[in-house]
Amino acid sequence: MSGAIAQQEAAFLSLRRQRRNTTLLGAIIFVVCVLTAGRVSEFYPSSLIAGAPRIGEYFSRIAPALEWSKLFANTQTEGSLAFWMYRLDAWGLLLFETAQMAALATLMGAVVALLLAFPAAKNLGLPAWVNATCRRVLEATRTVPEIVFALIFVWAFGVGALAGILAIALHTAGALGKLFADAMENIEMRPWDGVRASGGSWFQACRYAVLPAALPDLLSYAMLRFEINLRSASVIGFVGAGGIGEELYKVISFNYYEEISAIIVLVILAVVCIDLVSEKLRRRVIEAVS
């Protein structure tokens, strides 16, 4: 009896020791990684302590000086909402432009992604090297960040929204293309067999067997991507590629403190509003399509 208990106890202890050792090893590796990373990224406690007051000061200067008593006064009164947002019309227009950039980029990216997704899907009877090539192309365009594309496109297409739209569209094509191809690989294959058996061509089978089955997924992915692209479009102007980002870059560089917070608040509001609307719209579109 006691022998069995002792055996149990020994097994328990050895298991616990083993788990503790694993945890300890993991913790040591983690600490070494943190220390190395801290060294490489010059994240020293001294520089952090020296920087902390400046960070606090910077963010407190950005914060708008609003006063309760004058909150709804006109643009001339310091401390009012209107004074803080005194260029609301110009910023609103820029935000609208940013949203249009995101929409156009999503559309262009989705069209390219759709065209490349059919050859990239493995179940549609194309040779393996075609699938592999398309997938590699999509992978390459989605791994390179939009900003890098934008930096290059600004040289080729000139400063302005076009460079930003094309940069976001290219990245979107890669990201959506993979999702589209995966969605197409998950469809029911019987309609495809039916269309092919009754003499339909490859293109007809794609149109009448694959597309209707995958459409709800494709639309849902594209609309989610629009929300992501709106965020990207709001910063792509940092490199001169149009939208509210250019204005934001300017006010941050020139230290127009209160305007920074005004623009950021507007961007957040726009993103949150579009997220909400887009979520409702997405549900309705998917219901209507499927």
Partner 1 sequence: MINPGGHLLSPAEVAAWRARMPEAFGPTGTARLWRWLGVVAFLAWLTGTLWWFDVSPQRMWNGLNGLGVIVRLMIPPSPGEQWVEILHGLAESLAMAFLGTAIAATIAIPLGFLGARNVATNMLFRFSLRRFFDGMRGVDQLIWALAYVRAVGLGPLAGVLAIATADIAVLAKLYAEAIENAEKKQAEGIAAAGGSPTLVMRFGILPQVAPIMLGHALYFFESNTRSATILGVVGAGGIGLQIAERIRVRHWDEVAFIIILMVLMVMTIDWLSGKLRRRLIGGR
Query: Binding of partner 1 at residue 197 (CB under 8 A)?
Result: no
Restricting to residues 127-156, name those near partner 1 by CB under 8 A.
140, 143-145, 147-148, 151-153, 155-156
By CB under 8 A, residue 55 contacts partner 1: yes
Strand residues in 131-245 grouped as ranges (E): none
| Interface with partner 1, residue 125, by CB under 8 A | no
The secondary structure of residue 43, as a DSSP letter, is: -
Q: Is the dihedral of CA 179, 181, 184, 186 positive or negative?
A: negative
- Report d(CA 40, CA 49) in Å as an integer: 18
Is 238 among the residues that bind partner 1 (CB under 8 A)? yes
Under rule CB under 8 A, which residues in 157-176 are in contact with partner 1? Answer: 157-158, 160-162, 165-166
Binding of partner 1 by 27 (CB under 8 A): no
Buried b (16+ CB within 10 A) or exposed e, 136-170: ebbeebbeeebbebbbebbeebeebbbbbbbbbbb
Distance CA 131, CA 178 (A): 11
120 or 166: CB nearest partner 1: 166
Radius of gyration (C-alpha) of the chain in whole angstroms: 27
Separation between Cα atoms, residue 2 and residue 236, nearest integer Å: 72
The distance of closest approach from Cβ of residue 72 to partner 1 in the complex, given in angstroms and rounded to an integer, is: 22
Confirm or reject binding of residue 34 to partner 1 (CB under 8 A): yes
| Contacts to partner 1 by CB under 8 A | 30, 33-34, 36-43, 47-48, 51, 54-55, 57-59, 62, 97, 100-101, 103-104, 107, 140, 143-145, 147-148, 151-153, 155-158, 160-162, 165-166, 231-232, 234-235, 238-239, 242, 248-249, 252, 255, 260, 264, 267-268, 271-272
